[in-house]
Copies of this chain bind each other. A is one copy, B any other.
Amino acid sequence: MKTLEIAEFLGGEIVGDGTVEILRVASLESATEGDLAFVEKTEFDLSTRASCLIIPIDLEHDFPVPVIKAKNPKLAFSKIAAILHTRKGRTEFRHDFSVVSETASIGEGVFIDAFCCVGHQSKIGDGSQLLSGAKVGNNVSLGENCVLHPNVYVEDGCTIGNNVVLHPGVVIGADGFGFVRDEDGTYVKFPQIGTVVIEDNVEIGANSCVDRGALGETRIGEGTKIDNLVQIAHNVQIGKRVVIAAQTGISGSTVIEDDCVIGGQVGMGDHARVLSGAIIGSQAGILPGKIVRPGVWWGTPVQPLDEYKRQNAHLKGISRLKEEVKLLRQTIDELSSITDKP
Contacts and interface: CB of A to CB of B under 8 A. Distances in A.
Interface in A105-134: 113-115, 117, 132-133
Interface stretch (A10-18, A41-49, A61-69, A175-183): A175-183
Contacts of A289: none
A315 interface: yes
Interface string A198-231: 0001010111010100011000000101011101
Contacts of A26: 215
Nearest to A341: B339
Contacts of A161: none
A149 B175 CA distance: 11
Nearest to A74: B180
Interface in A149-203: 149-151, 153, 155, 165, 167-169, 171, 174-175, 177, 179-182, 185-191, 193, 201, 203
Given A283-B267, A339-B335, A117 B135 contact: no
Contacts of A189: 78, 82, 203
A81 B193 contact: yes
A211 B79 CA distance: 21
Q: How many copies of this chain does the complex contain?
A: 3
A273 to B, nearest CB: 17
Nearest to A151: B151
A324 B329 contact: yes
Contacts of A188: 75, 78-79, 82
Interface string A301-342: 100000000111011111101101100110110011011000
A28 to B, nearest CB: 9
A264 to B, nearest CB: 5
A143 interface: no
A-B pairs, top 3 by smallest CB distance, nearest first, are A81-B191, A314-B318, A27-B215
10 contacts: A75-B188, A99-B132, A117-B132, A117-B133, A169-B171, A171-B207, A207-B207, A229-B249, A317-B318, A321-B325
